[in-house]
Amino acid sequence: MPFRFPGAILAAGAILLSLACGGGGGTGGQVQTATLAYVNPAGTGWRWVKDEALSTPDRLVLALVPPEGVTGLRGVAFSLASDPAATRWVEVRAGGRSLVENGTFNLGGGVPLFRYGQDQGVLRAGIFQKGRGDATIPDGAAVRVALAVQAGAGPGTWTLDRASLKVLPPTGARLVETPVEAGRITVQ
């Protein structure tokens, strides 16, 4: 039986060389992560704007901000849609437990008047203050929500759809339909 030692050494050497070189090409084992960019709407009415302090390259936090001078609300109900193939709704704060964060309303004791749900890229929520007291908007945000890039999403740009808003004024028990603007998202 012939001795095949030189062939085995050459094969092993080729395997070790390919492993040492990282298998050739690519990014050296680094995974390229898609990022989210957002262009705020131009208007000055109710609008969804990027929260620069809480957003990261892979987590876009949006704040619902009112027109200047609005301070007497007791609650909001909203709907906001994004492309479910490109993004998903996530916790506002990493490690948090809520897809919607209260920025304004005093929810009082007992069972809070705060609910949200999502379906096929549409996030719907209602958050309401108990009692008749006026709400204030100390940091400019009534509520916050967050989006992250969906695994496998390719680059693209779109406007957040089906943005709707109803507000509960300081007096009365009926929600008032209110115009709201949303900006453009880009997955890069």
Annotated domain spans of the chain: 41-187
63: exposed, middle or buried (Cβ count in 10 Å: 0-12, 13-18, 19+):
buried
Q: What is the mean pLDDT of each run of 10 residues along the chain (188 residues)?
A: 43 37 42 82 93 93 90 86 91 88 76 85 89 64 92 87 87 88 92
Query: What is the predicted pLDDT for the residue at 11?
Result: 40
What's the CATH number for 41-187? Answer: 2.60.40.680
Phi then psi dihedrals of residue 108, to 5 deg: 65, -175
Query: What is the predicted pLDDT for the residue at 133?
Result: 62
